[in-house]
Homo-oligomer: A and B are copies of this chain.
């Protein structure tokens, strides 16, 4: 008997999907990228899916249902953008335990609908069923792209620039902040059961605690997919050579691109884009913000590589940061520290099977 934790999520997926045959001429790309690619006619069809489970991916003690719905949809859109495609349709499957009311499900759906409206995506179907415990959300997203525009993970070439959008580790710091406040709240709750005035006092204390850290909460609770960057790259005439979204952490994603492209990489610690609120909280919590930026998940930023010849076109684009370059595979996958020291990147990522 092999415990799943011995393989980890990626190992398990590899083992399960290792020898999958393809029988359909319309299948262009199966397992192994942000989305599958099908050829049904004029345009290519992209397909991605994501499952969120209560207690694993979210905690309803501090995640509002509307935000949860919004995020559950947006993370799927992010996968389609990461293929350089446009998300077009989703289906939503929900498992709901008896404690959920219709109003709560409406709340969840209002977030999903808002995301669909903002990103121009249609909700076209789904499945709703009872569950014994908690809330399960499974969303599948379709998208389209022209065949010659799709960007896979395997196209990075030596000397390509490695770029990342926005900032890294911020969503993770938002999660740590929420977890810290939840614990403080629970502890003071158990001390002051039933004391109404204390409850009110606590709430304003809590609001004060989040002051100046609102951006961290937003990044954790209501991430956006980088549609804007995809549009800007297209406008600038840049087609990335490889791309994926940062959902498990930069290190983990870089290793995917390198292994699928048969390449090495060198990224520079001092180039990693880090938000100042995230840095301040890391300081306050005695954490190394670079570690958080490398391994914190759920940023939903884009990580891409592009030809060095695109450098001039790339520089004027807001919110894109060049963090390193692709090397020969034998040079390894390296983080270059502030003092020039070389550290081999490892995927710590978010491995829920080995907590």
Binding site for B on A (CB under 8 A): 1-7, 9, 12-13, 15-17, 20-24, 26-27, 29-31, 35-36, 38, 40-43, 45, 47-51, 53-57, 88-89, 91, 93-96, 98, 100-103, 105-106, 109, 113, 116-117, 120-134, 136, 138, 140, 142, 144, 352-353
| Contact, CB under 8 Å: A45 / B40 | yes
> With a CB–CB cut-off of 8 A, which chain B residues contact A113?
20
Copies in the complex: 2
If A51-B129, A128-B12 touch, whether A38 touches B142 (CB-CB below 8 Å) is yes
| Contact, CB under 8 Å: A23 / B121 | yes
| Contact, CB under 8 Å: A106 / B26 | no
Which of B38, B101, B353 is close to A1, meaning CB atoms less than 8 Å apart? B101
| Contact, CB under 8 Å: B41 / A41 | yes
| Contact, CB under 8 Å: A49 / B122 | no
Q: Name the distance in Å between A30's Cβ and chain B's nearest Cβ.
A: 4
| Contact, CB under 8 Å: B142 / A47 | yes
**10 CB < 8 A contacts A-B:** A12-B128, A13-B128, A23-B121, A24-B120, A24-B122, A40-B42, A47-B89, A47-B124, A49-B91, A51-B95
> With a CB–CB cut-off of 8 A, which chain B residues contact A47?
89, 91, 124-125, 140, 142
If A31-B123, A45-B45 touch, whether A138 touches B23 (CB-CB below 8 Å) is no
> With a CB–CB cut-off of 8 A, which chain B residues contact A100?
4
